[in-house]
Every structure is written in structure tokens, then in C-alpha cells.
Amino acid sequence: IAGITQAPTSQILAAGRRMTLRCTQDMRHNAMYWYRQDLGLGLRLIHYSNTAGTTGKGEVPDGYSVSRANTDDFPLTLASAVPSQTSVYFCASRMNRENNSPLHFGNGTRLTVT
């Protein structure tokens, strides 16, 4: 079934450790996004990529980095995790950033930083 795959599903991480959240899509979408979802807050954009080879900063980029080496993969890296990065992380994609197509989301990675 076409869609977005995120891994891992959940993770407990010690503060100060490095962690990469994986995201792969098989829909050949150009635009990809990383969001975090916290209780009482709407989904907030961390980083985005409008096409392979390009990335941009979203609303809450500090402490995170991304890369987009190809169309399908968009990993999110926490270089040195802090407790405030405890959240549920969603990867999403859509065909292009300008059109009206919906975002397709993965099922999220629940990250706890202790």
C-alpha cells in the first residue's frame, strides 16, 4: 500500500544522545515535511523539503536537522536530545508545495527524552 513509513514507532532516549527518525514515502511526492505534535498545541513545522536536494526551516527548527538526498527519504536528526524534544513526530508529504493536494502523514514516532 502506497504511503509514508516512519521508524521507529516509539523510542526512549537519554538526554544528550543522538537520534535519527526515519521517513520514507513511495508516492513520488516532491514536498516532504516534519512536524511535532504536543498536547494542547497544533502540529508545528520543524523542517521541510520542497524537492530532493533542498531543505528549509519551519516554525521550530532549533535542535533538529534534516537531509533530502533523494525523493523518497527525509530523515530527521536530533544531534543532542533534550527533554523538551519529548513529543510525537509526524512525517508528511504532498505532490508539490503549491497545489491543493492533501498532506499524507505517517503514523508518527513517539519520542521520550529522559
Partner 1 sequence: KNQVEQSPQSLIILEGKNCTLQCNYTVSPFSNLRWYKQDTGRGPVSLTIMTFSENTKSNGRYTATLDADTKQSSLHITASQLSDSASYICVVTWDTDKLIFGTGTRLQVFP
Name the residues that contact partner 1, by CB under 8 A: 4, 40-45, 90, 92, 97-98, 100, 102-103, 105-108
Whether 91 contacts 66, CB under 8 Å: no
Q: Which is nearer to partner 1, 80 or 96 (CB)?
A: 96
Q: Which is nearer to partner 1, 2 or 100 (CB)?
A: 100
Distance CA 57, CA 13 (A): 24
CB of 1 vs partner 1, minimal distance in Å: 13
CB of 40 vs partner 1, minimal distance in Å: 6
Q: Which is nearer to partner 1, 62 or 98 (CB)?
A: 98
Distance CA 32, CA 52 (A): 9
46 burial level (CB within 10 Å; 0-12, 13-18, 19+): buried
